[in-house]
Amino acid sequence: MAGKTANKFSIEVRDRAIRLVLDLKADLGSQWATECLIASKIGCKAHTPKSG
């Protein structure tokens, strides 16, 4: 059973990251490439969501 982890980033940082991905996706051509770029800039890792 997985335990709950603390959020490293504030809601504001997460909201900004989402806005950046949505804004830059068309320029970079793929959502995954955009997520990887933004993740590296804010100091986290891009990952796919868990299916459940």
The verdict on residue 3 lying in a domain is no
Tell me what pLDDT residue 29 has. Answer: 86
The verdict on residue 51 lying in a domain is no
Report the distance separating Cα 6 and Cα 20, nearest Å.
23
| Of 39 and 2, more confident | 39
User: Whole-model pTM above 0.85?
Assistant: no
The verdict on residue 23 lying in a domain is yes
The verdict on residue 30 lying in a domain is yes
Number of domains observed in the structure of the chain = 1
The verdict on residue 29 lying in a domain is yes
The verdict on residue 19 lying in a domain is yes
| Of 4 and 52, more confident | 4
Report the distance separating Cα 35 and Cα 20, nearest Å.
9
Predicted confidence (pLDDT) per residue in 3-51, tens digit? 555 677 788 988 988 898 888 888 888 888 888 988 888 888 887 555 5
The verdict on residue 52 lying in a domain is no
Tell me what pLDDT residue 1 has. Answer: 45
The verdict on residue 7 lying in a domain is no
